Amino acid sequence: MSEADRLERARARLIVALDVPTRDAALALAERLAGHVGMLKIGLELFVAEGPTIVRELRARHPELELFLDLKLHDIPNTMAAAMRSASTLGARFVTVHAGSGVAHLRACVEQAGDSAGVLAVTVLTSQDEQACREAGHTRGPAELVGIRARAAVEAGCAGLVCSGQELEAVAAIAPQLLKIVPGIRPAGSELGDQKRVMTPAQAIAAGATHLVVGRPIRTAEDPPAAADAIVAEIAAALPS
Ligand SMILES: O=C(O)c1cc(=O)[nH]c(=O)n1[C@@H]1O[C@H](COP(=O)(O)O)[C@@H](O)[C@H]1O
């Protein structure tokens, strides 16, 4: 494989979180990062402020970039499925739901999304450690909970799951066919912020991540495109040949 092909493959695995409050900020960041990353993630901050319009606008302006609509749906199956029906028509490749809702909820979303969008099951948030799971009333820690929820994602027919890099080895056996989307990515030496279960880009790729979600390490960098390029180079070096 040529070096250019390797970088192209690495770039396709990098998802940048557009965690900004306005349309203008989102479009400006997307413009700067086009050509440096593979996918843009629209999360709650941006979606609550700007609604479906920003998804359609990004789709129209950047046909070369995939979109990931991170709504983390969590409700009764009927309500989740109805929200998924609307979300899956906006042009995003992926839409997220909370896997903790259970198999029936996930399946209802997968049925509604059909071929229009891939449903990603968010297992245990990367901001949660053992203590946070205990405080939330769970008798199991993050690793065990991720395993249970990964099984639910497989049973429901989800396209992939979202987990930390630390559970990748375990989920490889449980969900070999599913995409493994990994947030909580921190290049060596960068600030953790509210993230608890973290890995560097190279560690997560070596452990089996298919995609990495990166927000602050790129967004708040002095030069976001250069920060994205550095992460792409790190991914490329860790890719299996
Ligand atoms: O679903 C997600 O994208 C997600 C799941 C998770 O467990 N942890 C997590 O951090 N995320 C998202 O990934 C991004 C991480 O951002 P940074 O911590 O700034 O890199 C944010 O947009 C989070 O909403």
Ligand 1: residue of 180, 213, 216 to mutate (most ligand atoms within 8 A of CB) is 213
Q: Where in the chain are the domains? A: 3-238
Residue 36 has a pLDDT of 98
Q: Active-site residue among 5, 24, 72, 115?
A: 72
Residues within the annotated binding site for substrate? 19, 41, 70-79, 126, 186, 195, 215-216
> Mean pLDDT over all residues of the chain?
97
Query: Ligand 1 atom 6: the closest Cα is on which residue?
Result: 125
Residue nearest to atom 16 of ligand 1 (CA): 215
Whether 214 is in the pocket of ligand 1, judged by its Cβ within 6 Å, is yes
Q: pLDDT band at 160, cuts 50/70/90? A: very high
Please tell me the CATH superfamily of domain 3-238, with its number.
Answer: Aldolase class I (3.20.20.70)
Give the model's pLDDT for residue 241: 76
Region 77-99: what's the mean pLDDT? 97
- Say what the pTM is: 0.97
pLDDT, tens digit, 9 for 90 and up, residues 168-196:
999 999 999 999 999 999 999 999 999 99
Residue 178 CB less than 6 A away from ligand 1: no
pLDDT digits (tens, 9 = 90+) for 25-71: 999 999 999 999 999 999 999 999 999 999 999 999 999 999 999 99
- Residue 104 confidence (pLDDT) above 80: yes
How many Å lie between the centroid of ligand 1 and the Cα of residue 240?
25
Scanning the chain, the segments in alpha helix (DSSP H) are 3-12, 23-33, 44-50, 52-61, 77-87, 103-113, 130-135, 142-156, 168-174, 201-206, 216-219, 224-238
Share above pLDDT 90 across residues of the chain, in percent, rounded to a whole number? 98
User: For residue 157, what pLDDT is reported?
Assistant: 98
Specify whether the CB–CB gap between 181 and 169 falls below 8 A: no
75 labelled catalytic: yes
The answer to whether 235 touches 187, Cβ cutoff 8 Å, is no
- The reply to whether 5 belongs to the active site is no
Would you say residue 103 has pLDDT above 90? yes
